Structure 1
Amino acid sequence: MTATANVTMPAGEIPPASPRAARAGKRRRGRLGDRILPYVLLLPALAAILVLLAWPLVQVIGISLRKLDIGELISGKAVWVGLDNYTNTLADPQFWAITVRTLVFTAALVAATILGGLLLAVLMRHLGPVVRTILQVTLILAWATPVIATTTVFQWIFDEQYGILNKTLDRLGFSGFIGFSWFSSGTSTLTVIGLLIVWQAVPFVTFSLYAGLVGVPQEQYEAAGMDGAGPWQTFRAVTWPSIRAITTMVTFLSVLWDFNAFAQIWAIREGGPDGESTTLAVVLYLKGIAGNHFGAAGAIATLMLILLALITGRYIQLLVRTPEGDLK
């Protein structure tokens, strides 16, 4: 039998909790703290996002619902027009033509950038140390050169009278390029601008993909070779799985950057000739800053944001579903 001791407690005193109950209470408090801690750590970043992104977005949407020209801006009057800015923009056939041009232009730039970066990253993995270092330095210099400086160089290269490209083509036997203007049509102008943007975007993609490639153990390539896999089979079975997530990330970033490209387009021909190289970013500038129609510009900016959200919706969905950010 087990003896039970009778303990007499003084009147008015609370009996002490058992050690088991104390440990359970500590565990509950510990679990609660573990659940709250991540949100507490996220508060500074969340506050920064709200101040730097969410509030300006709310402001833009508010501006898009107003008639805000230079007169209203100076007088401070709030003239609310509802969705008139949106309906006027969507009813303009030129807006839809520019939207299609922007989408095609963005798709071509992203495809060329990712393909060029992927080829250079694979090439860098197979080059010797000296040649690889030279290539990396060259890419860094192309990446670090200011946009306006690079744009000026491209204008010199493609100049119809003094450009080195026309002179080189002439010496190669293509005499038809003497005095040829690369900026006479919207298609050729956008081609030159696209080459300029790709030239500056490829280095970032190359280094990002190369960082993923160097993490693949050499033993996997050796095993693929022993199994009789060819170059394409090795790339599909070994290389691609290791860089698929990084490729998705840089594709997403390229879409954002190329869709909003403005400096190169404006510096080359200001959207010309005759507006044939105008994109949505240029229209946003012409309506807002140049035309002082800030309400209409706010509507265009909001529509651009919605369009970008639709384009990148799949990436955002994957990012939200996987807490670790694994895009596989």
Structure 2
Amino acid sequence: MSTLDEPAVARPLPAPRPSATRARRSRPRLPYLLILPALAVSLAVIGFPLIRVIVLSFQQWGVAQIFSDAGPPFVGLKNYTRILSDPVFWTVVVRTLVLTVVMVGLSMGVGVGLALLMERVHGWVRGVMTFSLIMAWAVPTFVSTQIFAWMTEQNFGILNYVLGLGQHNWYTDAKQGLAVATLIVVWGAVPFITVTTYAALTQVPAELVEAARLDGAGGRQVFFGITLPSIRPVLVIVTALSVIWDFSVFNQIYILRNGAPSPDYQTLAIYAYMQAYQGHEYGYASAVAVVTVLLLLVVSVFYLRQLIKTGEAE
């Protein structure tokens, strides 16, 4: 009998795959249950104040309303209309944006540069750098700001002595005072950026770097072709966090100016604070705070989009 006459052997049919609905139902619920307590605390701590600020932004709340039994009247969009027509507010916005760009640029540049340096050094040098960065990171903002204030003090500051400036006052000119505040912010941000970026550099595939060098690639080609694409997700996260933190800078400037920063020193956070606790215009200050949050949401949306693009590329 030829092979054509052989009976066909029946092959077992593959087992049916579970439907997407069934697979979705079979997902464990324990992770979601474990998240619930933290989510509830976050909503209670952040959600209620945020809702309260939004409500206040539509009200006229001042000293008269605090001592009145009638309560604050709703004024609709009056506070937001005032923001749009207030030239001081837009000056503060521009100042905040410029400071944010400078602070983030310097922090990222110095932080990434130190991370690349840590990758090249070995042994005890890297250990000393890591220890120094962590110690600088551990210093509270109040302490580091006071240290810089003492260094730039007009009569006994070491900076004037080293530079031979005599009794130069660094805070008469707001540009110089904000430069000192920028240095303090960069000082506090660089350790976090450096350690995080260095951790990302340690995860760059060594075999890809070696293969590129064997093919004749130089240091610049290896960095832009392999290293930078590998650490890009971490850089996006760190940059977004730095923008959010620096856009809301408050403590450094407030402490440097002894709790009374002049209008030339005010950022959005300080401007809202001064309107509320010195001008006693809590409704208008709440509207400024809401606008600040909306501006930060724009950065957050950009950050999320970059993460999604990175995930799709991978």
1:137 corresponding residue in structure 2: 131
Change (3 A) 1:30 1:40: farther
- Could you tell me the TM-score, scaled by structure 2's length? 0.86
Q: Is the 8 A contact 2:244 2:299 kept in 1?
A: no
Deviations along 1:23-76, one digit per CA (max 9) or x if unpaired, are: 99x989853523683766654454344333333322211010011113323445
Aligned twin of 2:49: 56
User: CA 1:275–1:59 in structure 2 vs 1: closer, same or farther (change >3 Å)?
Assistant: same
Separation in structure 1 between the aligned mates of residue 143 and residue 21 of structure 2, nearest angstrom: 60
Over residues 155-198 of structure 1, what are the superposed CA-to-partner deviations in whole Å (9 max), with x where a residue is unaligned? 1111232211221123xxxxxx2222221211111111000000
Q: 1:211 aligns with which of 185, 195, 199?
A: 199
CA distance in 2, matches of 1:87, 1:272: 27
Distance in structure 2 (CA, Å) of the matches to 1:139 and 1:40:
38
Alignment RMSD, CA only?
Answer: 2.7
For 1:68, the aligned partner's letter is W
| Cα gap change, 1:272 to 1:60, in 2 (>3 Å) | closer
Answering whether residue 85 of structure 2 is matched by residue 91 of structure 1, we say yes
**Amino acid paired to 1:89:** I
Q: What CA distance in whole angstroms lies between the structure 2 residues aligned with 1:276 and 1:39?
A: 48
The one-letter code matched in structure 1 to 2:136 is A
Match for 1:196 among 184, 191, 196? Answer: 184
Partners of 1:237 and 1:67 lie apart in 2 by 56
- Tell me which residue corresponds to 1:33: 25
Q: TM (normalized to structure 1)?
A: 0.82
Q: Distance in 1 between matches of 2:120 and 2:155?
A: 41
User: 1:83-118 CA deviation, whole Å, 9 max, x = no partner?
Assistant: 111111221101101100000000110111111110
Deviation string, structure 1 residues 216-270 (Cα, Å, up to 9, x no partner): 2333322222222222111111211121000000111001110111010100115
Q: Aligned equivalents of 1:40 and 1:318: distance in 2? A: 29
Instruction: Give 1 or 2 for the bigger CA radius of gyration.
Output: 1
Report SS of the residue matched to 1:71: helix
Distance in 2 (alpha carbons) for counterparts of 1:122 and 1:64: 46
1:249 to 215, 237, 244: 237
- CA separation of 1:136 and 1:28: change in aligned 2, threshold 3 A: closer
Partner of 1:186: 174
CA distance in 2, matches of 1:240, 1:270: 42
- What residue ranges of structure 2 are gaps of 5+ in the alignment? 1-14
Distance 1:239 1:184 in 2: 45
From 239, 244, 264, the equivalent of 1:276 is 264
Number of aligned residue pairs: give it.
297
- Distance in 2 (CA, whole Å) between partners of 1:29 and 1:90 is 50
Query: Match for 2:146: what amino acid?
Result: T
Q: For the residues of structure 1 that align with 2:313 and 2:181, how far apart are their CA atoms? A: 31
1:105 aligns with 2:99: yes
Letter in 1 for 2:254: W
From 35, 60, 71, the counterpart of 1:67: 60
Identical positions, percent: 38
CA contact (8 A) 1:186 1:273 kept: no
User: Match for 2:151: what amino acid?
Assistant: I
Consecutive unaligned residues of structure 1, counting only runs of 5 or more, are 1-22, 171-176
Q: Name the structure 2 match of 1:288.
A: 276
The one-letter amino acid paired with 2:116 is V
